Amino acid sequence: MKNKFQTYAYGLFSYLAVAMACMTGNGALAQELGFKSYKLQEDNRPFKINTLFKNNDGYIYAGTTNGLYSFDGINFKRIIFSKSSARDTVTAVFQDHNRQVWVGFKNGHLARMINNKLEYYQPEEGTPAVAITAFAEDKGNNLWFATNGEGVYYFSKSHLYLFDSADGLSDLHIRSLVVTEKGDLLAATDQGINILSLAGGKKKVTVISPKNGLPDYYVTAITPAGNDRYWIGLQEKGFCLYDHTTGTVSIPPAVQNWTYGQVNSLLVSQKNLWIATEEYGLFNQAGFDKPVMAYKNGTAFQTKINNLLQDNEGNIWMNTPSDLVATAGHILRLYPVYNQSVYDNIHSMLCDHQNNIWVSSDGGLIRYILTENGFTEKKFRIAGLDARTDITSLYQDIYHHIWIGTMGSGIFLLDPETGQYRNLDENPLLKKASILSITGRGNTVCAGGLEGVAMIFKLAEVNRNLTAGYSFTNYNNIDNIGNNYIYSIYKDSKDRIWFGTDGKGITVLENGKFSRIDKETGLKDDHIYSFTEDLDGNIWFNTEGAGIYRFDGKTFRNYSLAEGISDLKIIALKTGPLGNIVLVQRKGLDILDIRNGTVSYLDNKQGIPEVNTDAGSVTQDSMGNIILSTSNGILVYTPVENTIHYPKTVIENVQLFLTDINKEVPGSFNYDQNSFLFNFTGIYYTNPDEVHYQYKLEGLDTAWIPTRDRSVSFLRLQPGTYRFHVRSSLSENFEGAHEATYVFVISKPIWKRYWFIILCILAGGGLIYWYMKSREKQFRKMQQLQQEKIQFQFQVLRNQVNPHFLFNSFNTLISTIEDDPAMAVGYVEQLSGFFRNIVNYRDKDIISLGEEISVVQTYFYLQQKRYGNNLALEVDITDEMKRNTFIPPLTLQLLVENAIKHNAVSKESPLAISIFVEDEKALVIRNNINPKMTGESGAGMGLQNIVNRYNLLSREPVTVNNDGKTFTVILPLLKQYDNENTDH
Amino acid sequence: MFKKPAILLFSLIVLSAHANAPNLIFSVSTGSITFRSDAPMELIKASSNQLKGIFSAEKKQFAFTINVNSFKGFNSPLQQEHFNENYLESDKFPRASFEGKIIEDMDMSRDGLYIIRAKGNLTIHGVVQERIIKCEINIKNGIVSVKSNFTVLLSDHNITIPKVVHEKLASEIKIEVKAELIEK
């Protein structure tokens, strides 16, 4: 007994892998290999697994007493709640058609998995108060779930409804729930099978109980068996088959007297039914009428088994009370029928038409007849063969005669029915010949060997009799092949005959013509060992040191180490029953998937013992299953249909700044959401440690980057469109590897986006337009100002050359010249100064208030000479004001002149004009009103002109106030030269 | 016609309860139902305090009923008229009811707060729909206070809404029930 313990520790978890090789025991002969056991624990606290589940990607989940765990073949990872630290006991897991994972708990709660975290789901109707035991989804995509004590619930149009006793359910404790092909549901209860239907919107329950032939009330498991039939697991009476079309129950003969107690779970894998029991371990049954065999892994496996599940590679998973357990099931079976001394003599092996196994022995052959419960062996001694004779090849022809090829003793023929045999001595060449291989197809038998043996026998009806002569052709002298070792001769389905030689390549005989395929035609190696033909008609052959070749009729394609072949010392090449090419290696099997070129491996990690290196020791049964001899017995490899032999790549999660995001939809991110972490797995439970990865971030990387890590991060990505690719392989060859992708876009920041730039350009254009417009407006305003100014000047000039003014001034002057000549001179000086100021200031927009005051005072001097003390001017303005404030020229002069012009000035009614600043903001000119008998014309032109000018110079308006007693003009004070109005 | 099963059950519970354990029957002393339609254009809310009902603790069975035309508080008298005449057709189907059985087991003799679920037939507009309704039950000094919120799809009860009022009437109506039950 060989026992291999490997212990790994990964973080908090550890798992135990046990690869079993050999055992002795009662009952079934075969042992299933690939047994592995994993302990699920945290902080040395083990958990109980309640349920196992496989999602659409093939990922396995375990619902435990400590919450939900995902299992990638190496680690268990707890799926936590996003908003709770609860570790509710999980009792059911399911994935619906939208890939939504649902979790049911012992406390009746429901949760959904969103971005790799659990979130409670709370329907309006509330959740059950008892454990959720199973989920199902009907054909209308409504979700159903069964409970342990409340019956079966279902969702319809967002409401939750219930099947219970009132609806006819025979029991409320449901163990299992399955949607039938018809569309109704089967529920396993303690009181028979309940068929639940909603035909016509009405609830209907039909009960299948012992009255209908069910052997047991208590139903524990239901599993589809195809054609709307279902395997039913029972509490006491084993299992039975329920046909939903006919409503009948049938009991397999081997289950009539069931003694293995409660069945917990059932699983169909190809033709096999696997049965997990409460106390007696695992069983399997190869067909309805076949016996039920106990599964043996080499140790006592008589324990509680639950939750059978098959992974995508065909391995069978289950749990014992303490462990999660896997087995390769029927993929690899070992029959320990011989001991070491027998094994030492095995150089060739043959599976005959009755699937009995023949092996070479000392001085003859041994035949093993394998049955479910054991085997019988019989030795066939052949005179002429002794212990030293090396039997290299065995072949059974269409008349069931066994051809025995030997080293140095030629070929013997044996009738397996009678035991009659003879030496094939028709040709003297064969008498002492050394045969390397015997193959054949139909009535053709090909024998190749040393010293020019290249014989092709044509069998005829007469050869039913072993003693009759055989017709044959020897090709030893054609095309120089005869001087060589002929390792193998192969006749393909197109009647071509392929000769594989030692050092001279291949010679093909097609339609009577020979052609040579060798190094000169492109082969890397001229030593050709054996041929096989795949289901598509391609010819495959293996070479001594350059791997294998595929010939599709036109080209040769080489598969070597780089393509994933584990070892170039290939023992034999066979086409497996599902069409894959199987390379028998010293350490096990390389399986080449001819659809995608990927290679997978079965080796000592699955418990395969040392393989016999004789090319003749590999054979195939009538199903095409590969049979080889190993140091521990006969090994049968049976691939499982609809399984994959490569890692399936899955992006487990995508994190943005270490927070999970939805990986199911393409991502769209802002420029500052730019740091990503990808976690991925190549799901390959057969050998999870051997998965290699390559990733590429399209948009950043151009080449694939190899890694053994299962995560990669990208920090501070530039804006752009990205496609993350990851693929996984069991070798360095990634051609045909399964790939997973995630697409995402990082947007440019707002200021780099086209629309923003365009908007900016438009806004800039608008600004310039607005500026131009305002310039234009300003310009017009200037022009208007200019015009006003000219008009004002004209007004002023016209006023000042008013003949009345001059006349009055000259009259004053005349009277003064006589009285006081000196004063007359001063008067004339003032008069001329006044006119000079008018001329000086008329071109200016504004002048300082001081300058204007001096003009006013000059004017006042001239007028006072005429009116004497009847006219008074009071100016109350500080020097600072005079310097720092401004006024359009001759404004005050005009107002003073107006005051004198419009009012009577006499001793009875003197005119008082006052000019002062109010609140530092306004300049006030006020005079009392002395109505005149005869009004002088003025038409208010001057005042209106002032108002217009101020409108152009200041925001503040000019106010004119006439209350009948005083006349007041309030002018805004212009504080400074604040615009370009002044430089004209 | 539709109200007959409710009344039948009603009387059955009363009769059978009287026969076996007369002191485990509770009936509604005060009870109200408020419904709320939260449509994009209009919020309609109306309530009635004429809820009647009975509950047998031993059998876990109950029956509640209300007069449809007793709802008040509509946004306009016309709305109330439409509610009664066009939608609920209260002259044809004067009552709405919910009758059935409690899923959980509960001890009515113990004070405390319970969350329970009732499975039963909800009859509105003469259409019977089986429903599960979650209730909060508070038992204190023999008074059983029941509070429940649930929704009703108008289409489930053949209540058709003319296209013109789609924006004014929600397709899903929120219902709030409050009741106090005392032992009979």
pLDDT digits (tens, 9 = 90+) for B84-140: 988 899 999 999 999 999 998 888 888 899 999 999 999 999 999 999 999 999 999
The sign of the dihedral angle between the CA atoms of A104, B112, B32, B17 is: positive
In DSSP terms, which residues pair with A681 in a beta bridge?
A650
Separation of first and last alpha carbons in chain A? 118
Interface of B with A in 46-85 (CB under 8 A): none
Give the burial class of A916: count Cβ atoms within 10 A of its Cβ; 0-12 exposed, 13-18 middle, 19 or more buried.
middle
pLDDT at residue A591, rounded to an integer:
94
Q: Nearest chain B Cα to A153, which residue?
A: B132
**Within an 8 Å CB–CB cutoff, is residue B132 touching chain A?**
yes
Are B117 and A125 an interchain contact pair (Cβ–Cβ within 8 Å)? Answer: yes
pLDDT at residue A797, rounded to an integer:
61
pLDDT at residue A13, rounded to an integer:
33
> The tokens of A95 are what?
């994935």
pLDDT at residue B169, rounded to an integer:
86
Q: Nearest chain A Cα to B115, which residue?
A: A126
Question: How many contiguous H segments (helices) and E segments (strands) does chain A have?
Answer: 9, 77
pLDDT at residue A10, rounded to an integer:
33
Are A159 and B101 an interchain contact pair (Cβ–Cβ within 8 Å)? Answer: no
In DSSP terms, which residues pair with A135 in a beta bridge?
A145
**Cα separation, A854 vs A784, whole angstroms:** 28
Rounded alpha-carbon distances, angstroms, from residue A672 to A115, A747, B54: 21, 9, 62
Angstroms from B60 CA to nearest CA on chain A: 13
Residues 6+ away with beta carbon under 8 Å from A19: A4, A6, A33, A34, A35, A36, A604, A605, A606, A607
Are B119 and A157 an interchain contact pair (Cβ–Cβ within 8 Å)? Answer: no
**Cα separation, B166 vs B160, whole angstroms:** 10
Cβ neighbour number for residue B100 with a 10 Å cutoff: 21
Are A164 and B119 an interchain contact pair (Cβ–Cβ within 8 Å)? Answer: yes
The C-alpha angle with vertex A709 and arms to A706 and A713, in degrees rounded to 5, equals 90
Are A125 and B133 an interchain contact pair (Cβ–Cβ within 8 Å)? Answer: yes
The closest alpha carbon to A402, from A448, A453, A450, A367, belongs to: A367
Residue A898 and residue A892 in contact, taking contact as beta carbons nearer than 8 Å: no
Contacts of A154 in chain B (CB under 8 A): none
Q: Which CATH class is domain A648-752?
A: mainly beta
> The tokens of B10 are what?
């009603």
Separation of first and last alpha carbons in chain B? 28
**Cα separation, A7 vs A17, whole angstroms:** 7
**Cα separation, B179 vs B32, whole angstroms:** 6
Cβ neighbour number for residue A150 with a 10 Å cutoff: 25
> Which amino acid, B27?
S
Angstroms from B158 CA to nearest CA on chain A: 15
In DSSP terms, which residues pair with A219 in a beta bridge?
A234
Q: Which alpha helices (DSSP H) does chain B contain, by range?
A: 3-20, 77-82
Q: Which CATH class is domain A768-983?
A: alpha beta
SS (H, E, C) A336-404: CCCCHHHHHCCCCEEECCCCCEEEEECCEEEEEEECCCCEEEEEEECCCCCCCCCEEEEEECCCCCEEE
Question: Domains in chain B, ordered, with CATH?
Answer: 3-183 (2.40.128.110)
> Which amino acid, B100?
G
Domain spans, chain A: 648-752, 768-983
**Within an 8 Å CB–CB cutoff, is residue B147 touching chain A?**
no
Out of A125, A166, A203, the one facing B134 most closely (by C-beta) is A125
The closest alpha carbon to A900, from A805, A974, A765, belongs to: A805
Rounded alpha-carbon distances, angstroms, from residue A873 to A394, A418, B102: 147, 160, 108
> The tokens of A62 are what?
């375990």
Rounded alpha-carbon distances, angstroms, from residue A612 to A357, A378, A450, A520, B75: 15, 21, 22, 33, 92
Which one-letter DSSP state was computed for residue B142? T
Angstroms from B78 CA to nearest CA on chain A: 32
**Within an 8 Å CB–CB cutoff, is residue A941 touching chain B?**
no
DSSP A92-123: EEEE-TTS-EEEEETTS-EEEEETTEEEE---
Q: Residues in chain A, how many?
A: 984
pLDDT at residue A592, rounded to an integer:
94
Q: Is the ipTM of this complex over 0.90?
A: no
pLDDT along chain A (984 residues), means of 10: 34 33 44 84 85 95 94 92 90 95 96 94 93 95 95 92 93 95 95 92 92 92 95 95 95 93 94 92 91 75 89 93 88 90 92 94 91 86 86 94 92 92 84 89 90 86 90 76 78 91 88 87 90 94 94 92 92 93 95 90 90 93 94 92 91 91 90 92 92 94 91 92 95 91 91 87 94 92 82 65 73 82 86 84 81 88 84 88 85 85 85 88 88 62 79 82 88 67 40
User: Is 50 exceeded by the pLDDT of residue B3?
Assistant: no
Contacts of B101 in chain A (CB under 8 A): 166
pLDDT at residue B113, rounded to an integer:
92
Contacts of A203 in chain B (CB under 8 A): 130
pLDDT at residue B133, rounded to an integer:
94
Rounded alpha-carbon distances, angstroms, from residue B13 to A728, B6, B24, B25: 67, 10, 11, 8
**Within an 8 Å CB–CB cutoff, is residue B131 touching chain A?**
yes
Residue A689 and residue A710 in contact, taking contact as beta carbons nearer than 8 Å: no
pLDDT at residue A157, rounded to an integer:
84
